[in-house]
Structure 1
Amino acid sequence: MSTMRIGGLASGMDIDQLVGDLMKAERIPLDKIKQKKQILEWQRDEYREMNKLMYEMQTAARDMNYEKTYASKTTTSSNEGAVSATAFPSTLSGTYKVKVDRLASAAVRVSQDTVSASGEKIDASKAFKDQLASFKAAPDFSSGPISFTLATFKEDGTKVVKPFNVSETDTLNDVLKKINDSDLGIRAFYDSTADKVVMERTVTGDFNKNPLEYLGAEIGYNGTTAGFIANVLQMKAGTETPAGSGVWKTTETGGTNAKFTYNGSLTVEPPTNEYKINNIQFNFKQVTAGEETITVGNNTEAAFDSIVKFVNKYNEMIEKINGKLDEKRYRDYQPLSDDEKEAMEEKQIELWEEKAKSGLIRNDSTLSNGLNNLRLDFYSPLEGALKGFGQLAELGIKTTSNYGDKGKLVIDNEELLKSKLAENPDAVYKLFATDGDGKTRSTMGIAERLIKTIDSTIKTIEEKAGKSTWVNDKFTLGKNLNDVDNQINRFEDRLLQIEDRYWRQFTAMEKAIQRSNSQSMYLMQQFNM
C-alpha cells in the first residue's frame, strides 16, 4: 500500500525536489550495476564478432577443399561463333576436333494464310460468337462446342495426346492459353500484325520415333477433328495422306536433332545444341564447313587468384583479432548512464563509448590460443606430400618479415606459385585439402587443419558468449547477465521502498508542522480574545 504523499504546503519546502535529490544518491549503486551489465553485453557482442570473422575464414578454407579450385580449365575455340566448349576439373588437357553438320531446332507450325476475313480483323480477346464474321473460316457452333486434339512427343518418343474443347464464349486467347497450360510442351500465340497463329515446341529435337505417326510431325493433329486447327486457325495441310486416313500432312518446320562429328570418327545426333562428351560440354551455334579445334588447358590464373583470396582473408582475420587482443583498456571510461547521456552531445557520447568499449577482450586466452594453433596449421609440413609440395614456403608463401604483423602471410614469389600450379595442380590441392587419417594433423591438408582449429575455437567462444539465437542460460556471459538483471530488479524494488520511506518521513514532518501551526493559531486567538 503506497503512502499518501503531502508536498511542502506546511513547511514551504519543495519535497519533490528533496526526495528526488536523495534518490539520486541512492541510485548510484544501481548505475554501477547497470554499467556492469552494459560491459557484459559489449563483451558478448565483441566475442560474437570474432566468431563471425572465424566463420568467414572457415568458409574460405572449405572453398580451398574443392578440387576445382586448383584444377579449373580454360577452353579456347578456333571458331567461337560456331562452337564453344566448357571444360571441367577432371577434363584432360589437349586439343579436340568438332564438325557441326546440323543444328537442333524446335518444331514450329504457322498459319498458312491470314486468320481474319478480307476487310475484317479479329480481336483475340473477344468471344468467338461476337465476331464470327471476322474469321476467314468462322467456327461452327451450331452443334455445340467444337473439339480437337493435339499431339506431341516426349524425349523418349512417347506420344502425348490432349483433347481440347472450344465454346462460342471462348476467345482465341482462351484457346491458346489452354494449349500453353497443357503438358504438350507447346507455346502458342496469335500475332496480330501478321494475323497468324504460331505453335512451337518449347524444346528442340526430333522425338517422333514412329515416322508414320502424324507423318513425322512434332506437333500433330488428327484430320477427323482437325476442322478448328486446319480451317479456323488456317493451319491447312492440303489433302489427307493417305487419302481417307484422317491424317493431315504436316506443314510444320524444324523439329530436328543436332548432328556433329567428334574427332573425325564419332557422329552424334543430340536433341539440343548442347552436348557433353569426354567430360567437355559443347555448345553448337552454327554449322561448320569443316572441323573446328577446341583447346583445353589448365587455368593457373584462377587457382592463383583463389589462393591469393584465401591468404588475404586469413590476414584480414588475424589482423582484426590481434587488434582486439592488443586493444588498450580505459578503465576510467565506464558506460554512461541515461542522465549522463542527456547532458552530452551525440559526438561526445560516441567518443566516450569508443573508449569504454576498448580492450574488453584484451589478451583473451581462447583467441590467443586459436591464433597460435592456426599458425602451426599453416607452417607444419604435410606428411607424405610430393617433394616440393609439402609446405607453403615451397610454393612461395611465407610469413611477413615484420614482427608486428604477428603471423601474416605474404606471397613473396608469385611466379613460383604459378609454376607449381601449372606443374602439378593435384599436388597443390592435396597440400591444402587432403583428409589424411582424419585425426593426425600432420597427415591433413592446410585447409582441413584450419577448419578443425577454427571449429574448436568457435565452440569454446560460444560457450562463453553464445549465439544470437541462444537463450542466456546456455552460455557463461548470458548467465552473468541474468544474475545482473536479478540484481537490478532487487535493487529497483529496494529503491521503491526507500523512496516510500522518505515520503513517509516528509509527510509525517508536514503533518507535525501543520499541527504545530494549528496550535499556534489557536493560542493567538485565545490571547486576543
Structure 2
Amino acid sequence: MDMRIGGLASGMDIDQIVSDLMKAERMPLDKMNQDKQLLEWKRDDYREMNKLLKELDQHIFDGVFRQSTYLTKSTSSSNPTAVTAKAGNNAAATNTTINVTNLAKAAMYNSATLVTDNGGQPVSGDDNLDTITFNNGSKFDTPFTLKLSVMKPGESAASDITLDIDPSTDSINDVMSKINSHTSLGVSAFYDEATNKVVLTMKNTGSGAKLSITDDGSGDTKTAEFFSSLGFTNATTGRELGDSNGDGVVDGSDAAIKTVGQDASFTYNGFATTRKTNNFTINDVTYSLNQTGSANISVSQDTDTILDKIVKFVDKYNETIEKINGELKEERFRDYRPLTDKQKEDLSEREVELWEEKARSGMLKSDSILNGGLNSMRTDLYSQVTGANVNTKYDQLAEIGIKTSSNYLDRGKLIITEDKLRAAIQDDPDAIYQLFMSDGATNSEKGIARRLRDSIDQTMDKVEVKAGNSLKTNAQFTIGRNLSDLDTRITDFERRLIDIEDRYWSQFTAMEKAISRMNQQSMFLMNQFGGGM
C-alpha cells in the first residue's frame, strides 16, 4: 500500500473526507449485511416452529398414540392392610376376594448359644479370627475354606459354594460380608453384637429352603467347627444347620436354631392355593399380601388416566397452533431494518432492543408452508375416520366431546366437553383407541393421531428444505444457500471497498504532494524576489 499523506499541505482533514466518502461506498455492504441478518432470523424462526412441531409429535407418540394409554386399569382394595393389587393392561375388569391364611416367610438360622471366647467374654465382630480362642476351644490360625450347600425355596437341586477365609486378616464380620457378597448363595448374614449371635436369613421366602455344611469328600471339618464356634451347636458336615441329632429334619428335638420357611397360603375366590412369595400375579393382576385377613380387589377401566392423556394432547395441540398462528399473524415492520454496528453504537441498549423487536417481527407472516401445515392438521382432526375396526358411533372427534372453538380468533383451537368425553371412554375405550390409532391404506382409514403425525412430518420436512436444521450445512437448504451467496458477495464487496479506499487515498496523497510542490515553488520565488530588493 502506498504511503498515505494527511492534509499537511492542504490543511484539509483527509481522514474525515475519506471516511465520509467510504460511508457512501459502504451503503450496499450495509444492506447486504442487513439482508443476511434477516435471513438468519427467518431461518431461526423456522427452526423454532419445527421444534414446536417436533414437541407436539413426541407428545402424541408418548400419549394418545400408545395403545397402553387406552388399556390402563385401576385397582382398589377393601382392606389394603391385608392385600393390595396393581392391574396390568391386559387385566380384565373383575372383582376378586382373597383371604390370606399365612404370609410367606423366609427360613432363618441363628446361633443357639452366645458367641464368646474361652473366658466367656463376648467376641468382637471386628477382631481377626486368629486372635480369638472360642468358647468351644476352637482357634483358627491358618487359612481354611467354608463349604456350604444351599437349597433355595422352590428348587429341587442344591448349589454348593466355597469361601476362602484367612484368619490373619478376616474377622467374623468379614466372613459375614463374604457370605452376603456371594449372590448365588441367596443368604443374608450378620453378626449381632447386641445379642452376640449370628443370624443367617434366606433372601427368598417360601418353604423347602436349607443351608447345609458340606465338603468335597476330603473329610474337611473346618466349616462345621467354625459354625460350632459361632453358636450353632452340633454343626456337622453333611447336615443342615440345626439338625443336631442327624435325623435329616430340623424340628423340636433339635436346638432352636432354624425358623422354617413358609409359603403364603390363601384362598382366591374360595379356591385354596399357595405361593412361595407374598407378591404374585394372576391374570395380569399383581397381588401383594401384607398380613392375614380378607380383602375384595376391584379392577376397572382407568377412565381418569385415558381422559388425562387426551386432555393433555388437546392442550398441547392448542398451545402449538397458538404459537404458530402468532408467527403467521405477527406484523412485519419493513421500515425497521436490522441495525448496523455503527448504528448500535449511537443508541442505548434499550433503544437497540426495541428497534430489533420491530426489525425481527413478522419473519414468517402469512408463510405458505406453515399455513399449509395448519390447514392439513385441521383437516386431519375434523375428517371422519373410516375402516372395519372403527365404531361409527365414535368416528369423529365431535362425537367424543371435542369440537373447534366457535371464536374465529382462536383459529382452530379445540374445546373439550369433559363429561361427554368421559362417558365415551367409559362406554367403549377400544373405540376411542381406534378413533386415534386406526391404521389403513388410505388417509381416511387412519386414526387422528396417525394422520396428525403424518402431517407434522410433512410440514417439518418442508421447513427443513427451506431452513435446514442444526445438522445440515448451508448447501443443503434454501436459506443456507442464500446465506452462502450473500457471504460470497459480502467478501467480494469488502475487497472492492479496500481498493476504493486505497484509490481515494492515492488521489488525495497525489493532491497533497502537488500542493506541497506548489508551496515549495512559491516559497522559492518569494525568496528570490525578496533577495533581489
Is the Cα–Cα contact under 8 Å of residues 221 and 248 in structure 1 kept in the other structure? no
Structure 2: distance between partners of 1:145 and 1:110:
25
Give the C-alpha shift of residue 472 in structure 1.
1.7
Matched, 1:101 2:101: yes
Give the C-alpha shift of residue 34 in structure 1.
1.3
2:325 to 314, 322, 326: 322
Is the Cα–Cα contact under 8 Å of residues 122 and 134 in structure 1 kept in the other structure? no
Stretches of structure 1 that go unaligned for 5 or more consecutive residues are: 209-215
In the other structure, the counterpart of 2:337 is 334
Read off the aligned partner of 1:332 and give its amino acid letter. D
1:146-295 residue pairs with structure 2 within 5 A?
146-153=144-151, 156-172=155-171, 174-184=174-184, 185-191=186-192, 193=194, 196-206=197-207, 208=209, 216-217=210-211, 224-226=221-223, 229-231=226-228, 234=230, 236-240=231-235, 245=238, 248-249=241-242, 251-253=257-259, 255-265=261-271, 267-270=273-276, 272-288=277-293, 291-295=294-298
Matched, 1:377 2:380: yes
In the other structure, the counterpart of 1:449 is 451
Give the C-alpha shift of residue 258 in structure 1.
3.0
Is the Cα–Cα contact under 8 Å of residues 148 and 228 in structure 1 kept in the other structure? no
Q: 1:510 to 1:280 in 2, by over 3 A?
A: same
Structure 2: distance between partners of 1:246 and 1:254:
16
Stretches of structure 2 that go unaligned for 5 or more consecutive residues are: 244-256
Give the C-alpha shift of residue 97 in structure 1.
1.7
TM-score, normalization by structure 1: 0.85
Structure 1: distance between partners of 2:364 and 2:437:
33
Q: For the aligned residues, what is the CA RMSD? A: 3.2
Give the C-alpha shift of residue 68 in structure 1.
3.0
Structure 1: distance between partners of 2:195 and 2:7:
96
Structure 2: distance between partners of 1:228 and 1:528:
136
Structure 1: distance between partners of 2:190 and 2:268:
38
Read off the aligned partner of 2:84 and give its amino acid letter. S
In the other structure, the counterpart of 2:24 is 25
Structure 2: distance between partners of 1:228 and 1:21:
105
Structure 1: distance between partners of 2:134 and 2:7:
99
Read off the aligned partner of 1:273 and give its amino acid letter. N
Secondary structure, in 3 states, of the residue corresponding to 2:221?
Answer: helix
Secondary structure, in 3 states, of the residue corresponding to 1:99?
Answer: strand
Residues 31-85 of structure 1: per-residue CA shift (max 9 Å, x gap): 2111111111111111112112222222233321323323322211111111111
Query: Which region of structure 1 is more displaced relative to structure 2, 401-410 or 489-498?
Result: 489-498
1:447-526 residue pairs with structure 2 within 5 A?
447-516=449-518
1:308 to 311, 321, 343: 311
Give the C-alpha shift of residue 468 in structure 1.
1.6
Read off the aligned partner of 1:101 and give its amino acid letter. T
Structure 1: distance between partners of 2:404 and 2:176:
69
Secondary structure, in 3 states, of the residue corresponding to 2:280?
Answer: strand
In the other structure, the counterpart of 2:250 is none
Read off the aligned partner of 2:166 and give its amino acid letter. S
Give the C-alpha shift of residue 160 in structure 1.
3.3
Structure 2: distance between partners of 1:451 and 1:269:
46
Read off the aligned partner of 1:367 and give its amino acid letter. L
Is the Cα–Cα contact under 8 Å of residues 87 and 299 in structure 2 kept in the other structure? yes
TM-score, normalization by structure 2: 0.84
Give the C-alpha shift of residue 338 in structure 1.
1.9
